[in-house]
Amino acid sequence: MHDDRSLVEARLKRVLEERIRPALYPESVPLTAGIWTAPDEPVPVAEGIAAPRTPIAAGDRWGAPWGTSWLTVSGTVPAEWAGRTVEALIDLGFDANMPGFQCEGLVYRPDGSPVKGLNPRNQWVRIASPAAGGEQVLLHVEAASNPVIMDYHPFVPTELGERATAGSEPQYRLVRLDLAVLDLTVHELVLDLEVLGELMAELPVEGARRWDILRAIERALDALDLQDVNSTAAAARSELAGVLAVPAEPSAHRLSAVGHAHIDSAWLWPLRETVRKVARTTANMTALLEDEPDFVYTMSQAQQFAWIKEHRPEVYARVKKAVAEGRFVPAGGMWVESDTNMPGSEAMARQFVHGKRFFLDEFGIENEEAWLPDTFGFAAGLPQIIKAAGSKWLLTQKISWSQVNKFPHHTFLWEGLDGTRIFTHFPPIDTYNCSMLGRELAHAVRNFKDKGRASHSIAPTGWGDGGGGTTREMVGKAARLRDLEGSPRVRWERPAEFFAKAEAEYPAPPVWVGELYLELHRATLTSQARTKQGNRRSEHLLREAELWAATAAVRAGFPYPHAELDRIWKTVLLHQFHDILPGSSIAWVHREAEATYAAVAAELTGIIEAALAALAGEGSTELVFNAAPHTRTGVPAGAGAAVPAGAGCSVTAREDGGFRLANGLLTVEVDGRGLVVSAVEDATGREAVAPGAAANLLQLHPDFPNMWDAWDVDQFYRNTGTDLTGLDTLELAADSPGAVAVRVTRSFGSSSVVQTLTLTAGSGRLDLDTEVDWHETEKFLKAAFPLDLHTERYASETQYGHLYRPTHTNTSWEAAKFEACNHRFVHLAEPDWGVAVVTASTYGHDVTRTVRPEDHGTTTTVRVSLLRAPRFPDPHTDQGTHHFHHALVPGATVADAVREGYRINLPERRAVGSAEGVAPLVTVDQDAVVLSAVKLADDGSGDVVVRLYEAHGARARARLSAGFPLTGAQYCDLLERPTGPADPDASTIELHLRPFELVTLRLTR
Ligand SMILES: [Zn+2]
């Protein structure tokens, strides 16, 4: 037999495209349309519907960037269409090749009730089936003219990402406003041919199945009259029925399809637009659920449910009904799909607390999977947090984006830094926007690494980000793929159904220990520095506000601000979304984030100051309050006390114009270039700075990645760089017994930097305050600390502990981690001596090692990442002034690193009050056991909730003492639900903690 495959395949492609799909709507009449454009931001639905219209028609341009237009379409169903299926077709000017990321609409009835969304691949509104003929049609469309930020030529700088600079040029042209007859038989024929044609292309040429399908398609095309597709579609379908009825092989892979729309809570649009994106997509999905009985839809991010509840109650009512029916499934149990590298311990925990609590309160549902398809890497602290929140599974797809190393499993146990293991699945389909294409399904089967042991995987199916979610075409294809030879078996399932089956069939899956590092998007640890600092500052202010408000509530009857803290937490959690905190959103988003963080800081500072005023009492003594978890300058953790001024600092001039700073703990040499050429711990005489090197050396690299400007830094950035050693001025900035400091000023490019290096009495750290006036583009600024240390590994703080990363690049896995995340510290050590670099400002860093030819010693260099200047999606990223606070801690143990990390992020506060001071609400007698939160219970009972963890990576016994009469104590999960009694002895509780173990206690007064 001659091989005519390519001929039949090409015939299918052309006939489908040029004859069959155009026959979907064989008859149409134009609708009459009018438009009104809101003068500024979006308006309420009633206002939009009532506004006066001016005529508009297909072909007309509309929609300035970020504008909102209200369209009204009206018409009459022709009498001769009686008995047929009639739809309105509204093409706002969509580009179907880009589902999402462009204009969108939400259709309303005249009474303001929502019908469904309009999206690039979802342009229909069902009017009647069957139609009676003569129906009057009147619909309103709230149309958003969101500009396309990321085009066919992605990553080109654009001013469209900010309302003020986006201009007023109409972005779209109306293409079609029609009433039309939908031919349901042709609709089914299209799906038959798509499913079979796409399946055929994936099957082995050597197998009979491929040829069976080819011949059936050929017969179907022969049966079709191309001049009259509508009359012959049924005949064509009957030629395909046989091959569509052949069941799947017994060994066929099992694919759990989950209706899904990955809607980024902000990204290439502002937060306010996400509210509407979610409303449109959920309106679509609740409508689809009514039409398709087998379909199941899943939505994550409690924040998105909360938005529709607040802003689109009419849509939310439909969501609530579908959730109650078990077909619209809240997933993930987090407030948003957050970044997981940068959120601090408590914030990561509160993502689950607020997410799960919302689903429980609103729907009575507690889901057990963490749902993070798109997050840029997963910190080693996360498994313990997931488990402590009462969940047990994790889904993500993102690690498949890694540039270098292929992850060895799709289903496995992920073990975090404390040993907690979470059953984890990476969908082998490698997308969270599956559209039921044959090649996607075949890729899932071929790619699945756990074949032979497991047979289930998941396929999040639907267009996200304004694509409108799952389409009826995807549902139609899935129905054909339930049991079809050559294809995996496809079922619509809830995530929990998938996980239960996957876990049951795979009792001993492989184990991956430690972080899930994404070998991509490493610059998200640095881009948009103000957003990152806003997060860091907010997290620590929240700690202080809870601690002092709880202490003041118990000690002084201070009204605990439950509602305020709940609201502020949710704001901070929202901004940890995986395109906000990572700095990968448009300018609009980051400008708003900066303002929001400023408001958060002001409100929290007000709460803190009010609580401290209530605590300080009457008197004229200046009290120092210590919110850090360890005693500092004589003030216990969580206490306030009067302290004498420190003394013992001195400064002397060096011959080269530099200075020697000393405080009895450290002696620091700043040379005539303003660089730290020596930092000696006096007690041991050990030098931290590598011979011949200089610490706090600013280094500037070119930084123009191949793609994803705000997200990526590519390894070649290190090939070139400049040491910023040029000096404008070097001067003494402080010279008192309490503190000595020098100030260094430098200029480079179009920018300048002022650094203040300070030694404070009684402190074993050299503080480095850096003010940068930054006007570079596509550059990366780092501060280097070359240390005289020989070590294979170093520690980085993450949630509730720290993880170790190698300092070498033996394998591609280590080499790929050339930029990594730390929270408050990195720590490097030889067995008897180490150094920490602590920070209140940054997350990104790198560590490298070299051997010195002179003395064969090892120099291990820590570099903290200060600033970048990518030009996409925000063309002016990070321009302007910035302030950073770091410190070098020579002689630091891990315990010192933990302690100094907290201290630098939680400066002492002062208030005037009674000389008696304020005793702590709760104390722990062991430094390794750190109080990460002290607060009143969220349920308003007045119980004190404390969360603590073992911070050194060792076993710890500790005694927790309540500073108030204790009537009971219970262990809890993160949601403060009791899990067991804690058996207090008088007002103390004995604790035994595993390395990095996290414990939550509820103490009843
Ligand atoms: Zn995303």
State CA 816 to chain mean position distance.
21
Long-range contacts of the stretch 544-547 (C-beta < 8 A, 24+):
544/604, 544/608, 544/627, 544/906, 544/909, 545/604, 545/607, 545/608, 545/611, 546/933, 546/934, 546/935, 546/936, 547/627, 547/638, 547/921, 547/933, 547/934, 547/935
Q: What is the mean pLDDT of residues 969-993?
A: 95
Angle (CA) 758 762 765, round 5°: 45
Distance 464 CA to ligand 1 centre (A): 9
Distance between Cα 481 and ligand 1 center (Å): 28
- State the pLDDT confidence band at 986, using cuts at 50, 70 and 90: confident
pLDDT digits (tens, 9 = 90+) for 609-638: 999 999 999 999 999 999 999 999 899 999
User: 566 an active-site residue?
Assistant: no
For the chain, the average pLDDT equals 97
Is the Cβ–Cβ distance between 595 and 589 less than 8 Å?
A: no
pLDDT category of residue 151 using cuts at 50, 70 and 90: confident
110 class by beta-carbon count within 10 Å (0-12 exposed, 13-18 middle, 19+ buried): exposed
665: its two tokens: 């703990």
Type of residue numbered 143:
A
873 preceded by a cis bond (ω within 30 of 0): yes
Per the CB < 8 A criterion, the answer to whether 378 and 370 are in contact is no
Distance 36 CA to ligand 1 centre (A): 32
- Cβ neighbours of residue 723 closer than 8 Å, sequence gap 6 or more: 697, 698, 699
**How far, in Å, CA of 944 to CA of 727, rounded?**
53
Question: In the chain, what percentage of residues exceed pLDDT 70?
Answer: 100
Whether pLDDT at 179 is above 90: yes
CA of 398 to the centre of ligand 1 (A): 10
Measure the N-to-C terminal CA separation of the chain; round to a whole number of Å: 87
Q: How far is the CA of 375 from the centre of ligand 1 (A)?
A: 7
**Ramachandran assignment for 812, one of left (phi > 0), alpha (psi -120 to 50 degrees), beta (any other):** alpha
Which strand (E) or helix (H) includes residue 172? strand 172-173
**What is the distance in A from the centroid of ligand 1 to the CA of 579?**
7
19 confidence band (pLDDT: 50, 70, 90): very high
Residues 6+ apart with CB under 8 A from 101: 146, 148, 149, 150, 268, 465, 466
Which residue, among 825, 312, 374, 309, has the nearest Cα to 577 in the 3D structure? 374
- 374 CA to middle of ligand 1, Å? 5
Does 985 have pLDDT greater than 90? no
Q: Which residue has the higher pLDDT, 153 or 9?
A: 9
Reading phi first (left if > 0) and then psi (alpha if -120 to 50, else beta), residue 100 is in left
Dist. CA 884 → ligand 1 center (Å): 29
Q: For residue 48, report the distance from its CA to the centre of ligand 1, in Å.
A: 30
Task: Give the pair of three-digit tokens for residue 915.
Answer: 């000389």
pLDDT of residue 893: 98
Task: Calculate how far, in angstroms, residue 961's C-alpha sits from the geometric centre of ligand 1.
Answer: 44
**Sign of the alpha-carbon dihedral angle for 352, 354, 358, 360:** positive
Q: Is 165 exposed, middle or buried (0-12, 13-18, 19+ CB in 10 A)?
A: middle
Nearest to 286 by CA among 89, 71, 470, 467: 470
How many residues comprise the chain? 1005
* 433 CA → ligand 1 middle, Å: 11
CA dist., res. 755 & res. 983, Å (int): 52
Ligand 1 centroid to 262 CA: how many Å? 6
Amino acid code (one letter) for 678: S
What is the 8-class DSSP label of residue 312? -
Cα separation, 625 vs 18, whole angstroms: 75
Contacts of 54 (CB under 8 A, 6+ apart): 34, 35, 36
Question: What is the 3-state secondary structure of 663-704?
Answer: CCCEEEEECCCCCEEEEEECCCCEECECCCCCECEEEEEECC
> CA-CA distance, 344 to 832, in Å (whole number)?
29
Q: In whole angstroms, what is the distance from residue 684 CA to residue 882 CA?
A: 36
Distance from Cα 778 to the centre of ligand 1, integer Å? 24
**pLDDT for position 984:** 85
Expressed in angstroms and rounded, the spacing between residue 44 Cα and the centre of ligand 1 is 28
Please count the other Cβ atoms lying within 10 Å of the Cβ belonging to residue 696.
22
Q: For the residues of 545-608, what is the DSSP string, one character each?
A: HHHHHHHHHHHH-----HHHHHHHHHHHHHTTBTTTTTT-S-HHHHHHHHHHHHHHHHHHHHHH
Confidence class for position 845, pLDDT limits 50, 70, 90:
very high
pLDDT band at 104 (very low <50, low <70, confident <90, very high): very high
Provide the phi-psi class of 63: left if phi over 0, else alpha when psi is between -120 and 50, else beta: left
Strands of 909-913's sheet, edge to edge? 640-641, 621-625, 909-913
**What is the distance in A from the centroid of ligand 1 to the CA of 417?**
26
Q: How confident is the model at residue 762 (pLDDT cuts 50, 70, 90)?
A: very high
Residue 998 near residue 388 (C-beta atoms within 8 A) = yes
Ligand 1 center–CA 295 separation, angstroms: 23
Q: For residue 145, how far is its CA from the centre of ligand 1 (angstroms)?
A: 21
Plot region of 629 (φ>0 → left; ψ -120 to 50 → alpha; else → beta): alpha
Q: In what order do the strands lie in the sheet with 411-415?
A: 369-371, 393-395, 421-425, 411-415, 511-513
* Residues less than 5 Å from ion ligand 1, measured at CB: 264, 374
Distance of CA 64 to the CA centre of its chain: 30
Residue of 414, 483, 452, 464 lying closest to 255 (CA atoms): 483
Catalytic residue among 374, 430, 566, 735: 374
Give the residue-averaged pLDDT of 644-653.
Answer: 93
Given pLDDT bands bounded at 50, 70 and 90, which one contains residue 371?
A: very high
- Distance in Å, CA 339 to ligand 1 centroid: 10
Distances in Å between the Cα of 653 and the Cα atoms of 538, 656, 730 are 40, 8, 11
Task: Return the pLDDT at 983.
Answer: 86
Residue 748 has pLDDT above 90, yes or no: yes
pLDDT score of 413: 98
- pLDDT band (50, 70, 90) for residue 645: confident
The span from the CA of 908 to the CA of 649, in Å, is 20
Q: Which helix (H) or strand (E) holds 502?
A: helix 495-505
Dihedral angle of Cα 682, 684, 685, 691, to the nearest 10 degrees: -120
CA angle 602, 898, 352 (to 5 degrees): 60
What is the Å distance from ligand 1's center to 301 Cα?
12
Report yes or no: 1005 and 944 within 8 Å, Cβ to Cβ: yes
Q: Which residues contact 856 (CB under 8 A, 6 or more apart)?
A: none
935 Cα–ligand 1 center, Å: 32
Q: What's the rounded Cα separation, in Å, for the pair 996 and 382?
A: 12
- Chain centre to alpha carbon of residue 581: 7
The answer to whether 891 touches 834, Cβ cutoff 8 Å, is yes
Return all residues near 974 (Cβ < 8 A) that are at least 6 apart: 349, 352, 353, 385, 388, 389, 390, 947, 1000
State the Rg of the chain over Cα. Answer: 31
Q: CA–CA distance from 445 to each of 101, 203, 424, 462, 854 (Å)?
A: 30, 12, 18, 19, 56
- Calculate how far, in angstroms, residue 267's C-alpha sits from the geometric centre of ligand 1: 8
- Region 454-482: what's the mean pLDDT? 98
User: Cα separation of 435 and 473, whole Å?
Assistant: 9
Please report the pLDDT score of residue 643 as a whole number. 86
Alpha-carbon gap, residue 773 to 728, rounded angstroms: 14
C-alpha 793 to ligand 1 mean position (Å): 32
Say whether pLDDT at 817 is over 90.
Answer: yes
Contact call for residues 792 and 808 (beta carbons, < 8 A) = yes
pLDDT at 331 over 90: yes
- Expressed in angstroms and rounded, the spacing between residue 34 Cα and the centre of ligand 1 is 35
Average pLDDT, stretch 652-680?
98
The pTM for the full model equals: 0.98
Kindly state the average pLDDT of the residues 741-758.
Answer: 98
* Inter-residue contact 469 to 230 (CB < 8 Å): no
Here the tokens at position 245 are: 């009825």
Sheet holding 825-830, edge to edge: 729-735, 739-748, 751-760, 766-774, 880-890, 833-839, 825-830, 793-798, 801-806
C-alpha neighbours within 13 Å on the C-beta side of residue 504:
6
Percent above pLDDT 90 for the chain: 98
8 Å CB contact between 161 and 586: yes
